Amino acid sequence: MTGMIIRKDRRAGRLTFNRPQALNALNHEMALAIDAALREWRDDPEVALVVIDAEGDRAFCAGGDIAAVYRAALEGDHQVGRDFFRDEYRMNARIKEYPKPVVAFMGGFVMGGGVGVGGHASHRIVGDSTQIAMPETGIGLVPDVGGSWLLGHAPGRCGEYLGLTGACIGAGDAIFTGFADSYIPEAEWPALIDRLAETGDVAAIRSRPRPEAPLEGRDLSAFGRQTMAEIVAALEAAGDEAALKPLRRNSPLSLAATLALVRAARSDASLRDSLARELRFTWRATRDSDFLEGVRAQIIDKDRKPRWAADASPAHVKAMLAPLGDDEIEWENGK
């Protein structure tokens, strides 16, 4: 079984996640395959648009498959992770900048690497099963794959809240915060995909009224404070235990770096700027952050008891986000 099913279907290029037993987790091979297909179809006159969906009903893509990154880093090889993140981010940018419509059907879990694929499509469709999250601070990482760009452009302080807590949001909040565009009941998706493939015309997408968005009426002003300590203090004063619980559980370094990333993204000229900044952290993550311990606790041993030890000082956060010099991400001839 291949991780992606890639084919042409009448007027559409079709990309289908095909690891339902692994919640369609994205690995390096899949990221490269997506990127290669997009490059091939870019100038193909037979392909009018691209459709991205998934096998199984539990997940569009529940994140990146980072087991190989973890194993290699334990043996002292940090390049496996660096190569994966770099190639994944190039693919994310290609989706965002694609000259043809890209339609993503994001059902079930859409987390981390799944947001990097679906969240940058030109037409992002969600349904009743959709659960979107950027939970990276819980494994000692930061919202990457362009997540800081999406979070930074969410309304109010939704970006800080979602990035720091890793909270899941449904279809209504996904549209409200800018992670999705259209709500369409999932029973209608197969027929819509068929119409898109037949016509090559995104006019077939007709959104229904947006479902309720609980975040729209929630007071998130505490997340506008300058530092993590001030955010925590404001939440404690407000008695917001629901928000405090993940902040107390997640990596202090990841929290501080995420706060910086989300706020920096608000001034970025393009997604590429945010991706480049994210790579500075993830390039260093297997060596200088809580990432390996977070993966061990949450994914490998599953004891859910990470022992965070990374320096979370402002100086270290600045160092983790400092330019990489010759290792900065390179964009392939602007395409």
Domain boundary assignment for the chain: 4-327
Query: Percentage of residues in the chain with pLDDT exceeding 70?
Result: 99
Both tokens of 190, joined, read 């197969």
pLDDT band (50, 70, 90) for residue 333: low
Q: What is the pLDDT of the chain when averaged over all its residues?
A: 97
| Burial letters 113-147, b for 16+ CB under 10 A, else e | bbbbbbbbbbbbbbbebbbbbbbbbbbbbbbbbbb
Contact predicate 98/107, CB 8 Å: no
pLDDT of residue 1: 53
Phi, psi for 104 (deg, rounded to 5) = -110, 130
Q: DSSP letters of 236-287?
A: HHHT-HHHHHHHHHS-HHHHHHHHHHHHHHTT-SSHHHHHHHHHHHHHHHHH
pTM: 0.96
pLDDT per residue over 104-113, tens digit each? Answer: 999 999 999 9
Indicate whether 174 pLDDT > 80. yes
pLDDT of residue 124: 98
| Alpha-carbon distances, residue 213 vs 209, 241, 321 (angstroms) | 12, 21, 33
Quick one: average pLDDT of 176-183? 98
Residue type, 159: G
> In the CATH scheme, what is the homologous superfamily, with its name and number, of domain 4-327?
2-enoyl-CoA Hydratase; Chain A, domain 1 (3.90.226.10)
